[in-house]
Chains A and B, each alone.
Chain A
Amino acid sequence: MSTFPTDINTIAWPKATDRESVIEINNLKKSFGTQQVLKDVSIKLYKGENLVILGKSGSGKSVLIKCIVRLMNPDAGTINVLGENLSTLNTDALGLLRQKLGFLFQSGALYDSMTVRENLEFPLRRIKKDLSEKEISEKVIEALENVGLADALNKMPSQLSGGMRKRISLARTIVVDPMIMLYDEPTTGLDPVTSDEISELINEVQKKYKTSSIIITHDIECARATADRIIMLKDGEVYTEGNIDDFETSTDPLIKSFFK
């Protein structure tokens, strides 16, 4: 792991030990066959922060985020989410923990056979079982208003553009009031204007819902707009970490190639 010319401990944010971590990843390893995708990765996400994980394609970013929700099981290492060790949870406990996590998929992952309303109602009916029909309807409309797409309520996903799909997908994630948001390449495949809008939405979600977020991306503009802290992965290892200014002023060739 390389270090910046500046001493990270002198940066304005509070010391790591003073802050409450909501996700703690220790010595995580994951391989597919002979290919080692994650090699001893250790990362912490602190309460209320937006942590951007940068890296080239194939650096293990998406695998890391999928391990956090146990869509993939790591080969070694531990992941603690909200104080729970993921590897020790049974299916029911994992289901309960997942209710506190929001995951925005790279493709949006909207259910093709359902309307926008049904897409939003789907997790709501399963997670917030005590809500009445009126409350469900209100929450769906509120989430859609938050992403600026209240008029898309009865549309099918096939009738939406890429940017709209991402927004609806974000609405489906926030409708259940998650504590932690995980964004997998939120701006990939979008034009610069829509990418900026999505980055804005990520910040708004953080403020409004008081979420802590991990944003996996290789889009520097998105990182600039959203990051409180950045971790760069290279070949499955943490290469460096800092804030956006550290990265902008770094002389490291790899970081410069990203931020040129």
Chain B
Amino acid sequence: MGKFLPALNVIPKLRDATAHSMTKLSEKTLEQTGIFSRFLMDVADVFLFMARFNKELFSGRFEWKEFGHQCYQVGYKTLPLISITGAIMGLVLTIQSRPVLADFGAVSMLPGMVTVSLIREMGPVITALICAGKIGSGMGAELGSMKVTEQIEAMEVSSTNPMRFLVVTRVLAATIMIPLLVLYADLLGILGSWGGANIKGSVTFTLFFSQAFSAVDFLDFLPAVVKTFFFGAVIGLVGTYKGYNAGRGTESVGIAANSAVVLASLLVIIVDMIAVQITDMIIS
């Protein structure tokens, strides 16, 4: 009997250890369930926000004046940034590609290659990412600050639908202006590329442009333009959603702006991937 005693002493310790492990496990499970349910609630919030956006888009009086103001803010105020990045994008792409093409004796293909790259992918994605940073964060911070300082509630009390006035106008402005900004960035990229081609060689403006556009056909152009409307909508929706649903403290303004940029950039890349897959399926 005596030889079993040490083993019996172990049982309470084992029981306590098991109970401790079970408690830890259940705490962890509860924590993870909490995170998961919060995630599901966030997803539900996004869908409710989009449903409300659609409802407000097609009902009631449209805020034309505010829409015009937002087009000016989103479009015109972003032009300098897009001009610089667009031109540098074309210039860098040309300088980087030239030696590789020169190795194959295909420098004459440089304008066409750069233009197709810019129109199909580089122009839309880089411009959209820059807009996600500038416009998405701007919308997140502006609406977040309006929420914190009770301006959205003040609007609601003065018989103005803040969803229609603040959200619908901003999302539509981003949806319409970002494709235009992308086209503008493409054009400046091609001009930058012509500048890059003239650093180590000499090519006339007319020759460069005729070679550039002879390489581009309608199927390069159309899907690229169509996807930019989705980029614009995503940036506008994410920016306004994050701002409109900001918390109460001043800290939440920063969080809204930051998370708007991160989520909008991520969604731009995901939408691009989906758009490329769909385009590939349709073309092939």
Q: Which residues of A contact B161 (CB under 8 A)?
A: 91, 95
Per-residue contact bits, chain B 117-145, to A (CB 8 Å; 1 contact, 0 not): 00000000000000000000000001001
- Please tell me which one of the listed residues A96, A109, A127 contacts residue B154 in the complex, with CB atoms under 8 A apart: A109
> Knowing A109-B149, A112-B149 touch, does A98 contact B159 (C-beta < 8 A)?
yes
Instruction: Please indicate the chain A residues that have their CB under 8 angstroms from the CB of B154 in the complex.
Output: 103, 105, 109, 111
Q: How many residues of B are in contact with the other chain, CB < 8 A?
A: 15
A69 to B155, CA, bound (A): 12
Is B157 within 8 A of A71, CB to CB? yes
Bound-state CA distance A176–B150 (Å) is 19
| A101-B157 contact given A109-B149, A109-B150, A109-B151, CB 8 Å threshold | yes
How close is A68's CB to chain B, nearest CB, in angstroms? 10
Do B158 and A112 touch (CB < 8 A)?
Answer: no
A111 to B156, CA, bound (A): 13
Identify the closest chain B residue to A103 (Cβ): B157
A172–B151 CA distance with the chains assembled, in angstroms: 13
Q: Which of A82-123 contact B (CB under 8 A)?
A: 91, 95-96, 98-99, 101, 103, 105-107, 109-113, 122-123
A126 within 8 Å of B by Cβ?
yes
In the complex, the chain B residue whose C-beta lies closest to that of A101 is B157
- Nearest chain B CB to A183's CB is how many angstroms away? 13
Taking CB as reference atom, which chain B residue is nearest A72?
A: B153
- Choose among B149, B155, B159, B160 the residue that contacts A107 (Cβ–Cβ < 8 A): B149
**Which listed residue, B145, B153, B155, B160, touches A112 by the CB 8 Å rule?**
B145
B interface SS class: helix
Which size class do A's interface residues fall under?
20 to 34
Cβ contacts B222-244/A at 8 Å (1 or 0 each):
00000000000000000000000
Among A71, A95, A109, find the residue whose CB has the most chain B CB atoms closer than 10 A.
A109
Q: How far is the CA of A106 from the CA of B153 in the complex (A)?
A: 12
Query: Given the complex of chains A and B, what is the CA–CA distance between A71 and B157 in angstroms?
Result: 8
Cβ–Cβ < 8 Å partners of A176 in chain B: 158
Q: Which residue in A66, A107, A122 is a CB contact (below 8 Å) of B158?
A: A122
Chain B residues, CB < 8 A from A172: 158
User: Are A99's CB and B153's CB within 8 A?
Assistant: no
Chain A nearest CB: distance from B249 CB in Å? Answer: 13
Separation of A140 and B158 alpha carbons in the complex (Å): 15
B139 to chain A, nearest CB (A): 13
Q: Across the interface, do B149 and A71 meet the contact criterion of CB distance under 8 Å?
A: no
Cβ-defined contact, A95 with B149, below 8 A: no
**A186 vs chain B, min Cβ distance (A):** 14
CA distance A69 to B159 in the complex (A): 11
* Cβ-closest chain A residue relative to B160: A126
Complex interface: chain B residues within 8 A of A110 (CB): 151
- Rounded to whole angstroms, the CA-CA distance of A126 and B162 in the bound complex is 13
B141-180 with Cβ < 8 A to chain A? 142, 145-146, 149-151, 153-161
Q: How far is the CA of A123 from the CA of B165 in the complex (A)?
A: 13
A123 touches B150 (CB 8 A): no
Chain A residues near B142 (CB-CB < 8 A): 113
Would B153 and A111 count as touching, CB distance under 8 A?
no
B160 / chain A contacts, CB cutoff of 8 Å: 122-123, 126
Q: Are B149 and A123 in contact (CB under 8 A)?
A: no
CB atoms of A98 and B145 under 8 A apart: no
In the complex the two chains form, is A127's CB within 8 Å of B159's CB?
yes
CA distance A110 to B157 in the complex (A): 13
Contacts of B156 in A (CB 8 A): 71, 98
Q: With contacts A98-B156, A122-B160 known, what are 7 further pairs, Cβ within 8 A?
A: A69-B157, A107-B150, A109-B151, A110-B151, A111-B151, A113-B142, A123-B159
What are 22 A-B contacts with C-beta separation under 8 Å? A69-B157, A71-B156, A91-B161, A95-B159, A95-B161, A98-B159, A101-B157, A105-B150, A105-B154, A107-B150, A109-B149, A109-B150, A111-B155, A112-B145, A112-B146, A112-B149, A122-B158, A123-B160, A126-B158, A126-B159, A126-B160, A172-B158
Which 4 pairs from chain A and chain B are nearest by CB?
A123-B158, A109-B154, A109-B150, A103-B157
